[in-house]
Structure 1
Amino acid sequence: MVEEEKDGEAQAQEETTNLVVPWMRAPVDVSHVDSCSLETLPSLHPRLKEALEKMGISSLFPVQVAVWHETIGPGGFERDVCVNSPTGSGKTLSYALPIVQTLSSRAVRCLRALVVLPTRDLALQVKGVFDAIAPSVGLSVGSAVGQSSIAGDIAQLIKTPKLDAGICYDPEDISQNLESSAVDILVATPGRLMDHINNTKGFTLEHLRYLVVDETDRLLRESYQEWLPTVLKLTQASDDGLFPSSTPFVPSAFGSLQTIRRQSVERGFKGKPYPRLAKLALSATLTQDPSKLIQLDLHHPLFMTTGATRYRLPEKLECLRLICETGVKPVYLVGLLKALEGEKCIVFTSSVETTRRLCKLLNFFGDSMIKAKEYSGGLNQAVRSKEIKAFRKGDIKVLISSDALARGMDVELVTNVINYDMPQYPKTFIHRAGRTARAGRDGRCFTLLGDHEVRRFSSLLKKVGNASCPIYPIPPDLFAPVRAIYEPALAKLKESVEPIAPKRGRQVGFKHNSRTTNSQTKRNKATSEQA
């Protein structure tokens, strides 16, 4: 629930100020840009074309074409680029492709592109896109996401050449060249990036040419150890006064910072400077808050968006709703899952605790068609990776998730998204719904509602530009067998969680009253609301 609350607070602040920076008032509408086949895409490297075709890609989506023309084409990356485009519209490839194309023209191994994302899972997904295209033109891609030990990161990121014992080396050459980057492109989360900036010898941003801030609104909302001002300071030109030539500069605010720019090096290589650091900021719900955007220090930014409205759902998404009786929402969920007959579904809840309880409850129904697994921030990385892999392969058809899966994650062939808990804010609805109907495919987003939530949900739909959300008719004969096993399933859930984490004489999430059968039913209803 914390993630939703922060999104809501940020959005409420934006709506209160009602301020929009001038360059956002005249966006480039990429919905007017046509898709483009790889055959006709100007200047595309032949080996990149082959790599894309191996991925099953024969043409680029409008947002990808628009960014290509601004970076590789006539735009020439003279301006920084901000993209507000629906989930599933191809934002990752829109920046990965031009970055790889540009870096391939210079055969020098050093860190020249940095992509920062808020979560490990999303960072690993983005790295997979780079891994599919970068090696075809001789580029190396690394990750720093906290999944492995920092020693494992260093072994991957830093190249330490062996020195011949029979040769005398200049001490300055050794100190400057003993450790160098083993990657051209780094995909990182903010925390692990700062670990390397502060502590890893040989890790440097002095040659950085591209900075990508993906899921910008979330990364700007949270400071993440001041990663952004640190990166921007370390990538400023050496002649701007930041690094005096007389003494080494180690700013105290950055702690034991070892990744400082050498005084004699401009942006580039030994007196051959690159252009300025180019930045790309992307999100399906890009912030319009000037106080947030100013942190990026953008250079004549170009704003690309899709359509006239700020929020936009995937083009082929169908929104549907179910009105549920009080206290028996799980019955409606199970009835819906049975009606969908084994289609891939992600069920979103509002918290880690609800995710865990609901997953257990569904499995206590004993229906093999709706065997569910949990995906949430309450699980460690290894378990999350295992569950998402099984879901992608189709071994799992129902994934119960907190909003840990809502942002950016691309899970193949997800037919349905189900909001078990109604999202409280438009941003949350946009990101959840965007797990389906991706890349031009069809998809459905169901929302389960109590009577008291109908009006508020209608208001939310207007904010995301969707006025139509009919009631989904579930055949009545599906409910009878579900209701028959609902109470026993709830009882099993209570037994499974009651011994866990007692607090001051009572069990979390249950009301204690064991005098009558009616009291048992009331307890089960309370458990149902928790689930």
Structure 2
Amino acid sequence: MFDFDMLGLAPALNDALTRAKFDKPTPIQAKAIPLAMEGHDILGLAQTGTGKTLAFGLPLIDHMLAEPGKPAPKTAKALILAPTRELVNQIADSLKNLTHDTRIRVVTVVGGQSINRQINALARGTDILVATPGRLIDLMDRRAVDLGQVRHLILDEADQMLDLGFIHALRKIAPRLGTPRQTMLFSATMPKQMEELSRAYLTDPRKVQVSPPGKAADKITQSVHFLDKAAKPTRLREILSRDTEALTLVFSRTKHGAEKLMKGLVADGYNAASIHGNKSQGQRDRAIKGFREGDIKVLVATDVAARGIDIPGVAYVVNYDLPEVPDSYVHRIGRTARAGREGEAIAFCSAEEVDLLLQIQKLMKIEIPVASGTMPAAVKDPTRGGNRGQRRGGGGRRGPQGNAGAPSGNGAKRRRPRRRKAA
């Protein structure tokens, strides 16, 4: 493996990498950066935690440093779109660390924060704009930003953007961008709709793939506990009590479930917080900051945070509820064993979730080791036309929240799942 200084990056970038103690590129970085620096469109496929931000961020900044002149008012030279506020902030923080001693300006726009403050920030123009699609469209509608000067477009975690329904927003944003431009699309999975997206927005792209879809990081130890749904709270507390100082990320399927679980843990004396779509941006930022700094030991989250948390110190990921989309399991457990560390992923599986577990194991091509209990027979979910986790006719891709809020019991009406709001 070669060093970063062998990639031909600008001296200012090499200095920034040295200060940050980055010496050797990860596989996705080693493959993508040279191609991106040559100006090719990139289709990058890699699991979470493999260093995708630097894979697109370093060549992007290198191009920005080589381009003379400041951005005009209300314009941007490059646009990075990401599905969640947490991921936008994470990307921006990484880029700002690399551009600290340069003229490159990075601005973020996300929902849940003052739009007037964002309008003022954009009034000066920016080199790199990092945004969630929904808030960006709000600013476009207010004529607070002109995207006609954008010559670099990056779509990060593009498959999750599809899951969250951002494809319509992208179709509204893309025609406003400048041409010709370089486009880089990064994703952890490659569903059929992603292939259509790449054909629509990439020109003769170079495909870079460093790990097969559905593969977890090598240093993650996985296990599953088979138990009744009512026994989950007790088992979770047993696990948390084994190592009270460890950072533990607990995933719940629904926003209501996450909040209820967090409050129960706090009432029992655990230092816990929660992040989900019903929390304000300020609440989410404070919870993640406290978790990163170790003031909060247990963070309960929904899938909205599965790809937006980059905290190397996470020791355990607990799937309190199994996700209804198998890919989400991979993204969840990818929050541990980051930056070369080891981590443990623990799953709870009730009878209602057996089919979900089987789908996850099929995707990952493994059988997750059993820590306790025995696999029960699958239970038919009364809110669906089949067992929980099975898709109904049409084969459409389901969102991470699924239909968890539908009533149960005989005679319950089958509701159509509502599209989840953008994070």
% of aligned pairs identical? Answer: 29
2:62 alignment partner in structure 1: 101
Shift of 1:468: 4.0
Work out whether residues 48 and 137 of structure 1, in 8 Å CA contact, stay in contact via their aligned partners in 2: no
1:192 alignment partner in structure 2: 135
1:122 alignment partner in structure 2: 87
Amino acid at match of 1:413: G
Q: Does the C-alpha gap of structure 1 residues 223 and 377 become closer, same or farther in structure 2, counting only changes over 3 Å?
A: closer
Distance 2:325 2:92 in 1: 30
Which of structures 1 and 2 has the bigger CA Rg?
1
Work out whether residues 83 and 286 of structure 1, in 8 Å CA contact, stay in contact via their aligned partners in 2: no
Aligned CA RMSD, in angstroms, stands at 2.4
Pairing 1:399-410 to 2, within 5 Å after superposition = 399-410=299-310
Pairing 1:131-170 to 2, within 5 Å after superposition = 131-159=96-124
2:330 alignment partner in structure 1: 430
Amino acid at match of 1:199: R
1:219 alignment partner in structure 2: 161
Aligned residue among 15, 27, 43 for 1:62: 27
Distance 2:142 2:172 in 1: 14
Shift of 1:463: 1.1
* 1:205 correspondence with 2:167: no
Q: Does the C-alpha gap of structure 1 residues 374 and 158 become closer, same or farther in structure 2, counting only changes over 3 Å?
A: same
2:379 alignment partner in structure 1: none
Pairing 1:515-526 to 2, within 5 Å after superposition = none
1:186-231 CA distance string (max 9 Å, x none): 0011112112222235x32222111001111132345548432333
Aligned residue among 175, 178, 182 for 1:278: 182
Ranges in structure 2 where 5+ consecutive residues have no aligned partner:
374-406, 408-423
2:267 alignment partner in structure 1: 364
* 1:77 correspondence with 2:77: no
1:298-341 CA distance string (max 9 Å, x none): 1012222124x332211211111122245222111101111234
1:232 alignment partner in structure 2: 174
Distance 2:350 2:161 in 1: 33
Shift of 1:409: 2.1
Distance 1:233 1:408 in 2: 27
1:430-451 CA distance string (max 9 Å, x none): 1111111122221111001225
Amino acid at match of 2:83: P
Amino acid at match of 1:209: R
Distance 1:147 1:452 in 2: 35
Aligned residue among 288, 298, 317 for 2:202: 298
Secondary structure of residue in 2 paired with 1:137: coil
Aligned residue among 239, 246, 256 for 1:353: 256
Amino acid at match of 1:63: I
Ranges in structure 1 where 5+ consecutive residues have no aligned partner:
1-33, 160-180, 238-275, 474-508, 510-531
Shift of 1:455: 6.1
Pairing 1:346-495 to 2, within 5 Å after superposition = 346-366=249-269, 370-451=270-351, 453-454=353-354, 456-471=356-371
Distance 1:188 1:119 in 2: 9
Distance 2:354 2:165 in 1: 36
Distance 1:322 1:105 in 2: 54
Q: Does the C-alpha gap of structure 1 residues 290 and 158 become closer, same or farther in structure 2, counting only changes over 3 Å?
A: closer
Distance 1:296 1:205 in 2: 19
Work out whether residues 87 and 431 of structure 1, in 8 Å CA contact, stay in contact via their aligned partners in 2: yes
Distance 2:326 2:208 in 1: 20
TM-score under structure 1 normalisation?
A: 0.66
Amino acid at match of 1:77: G
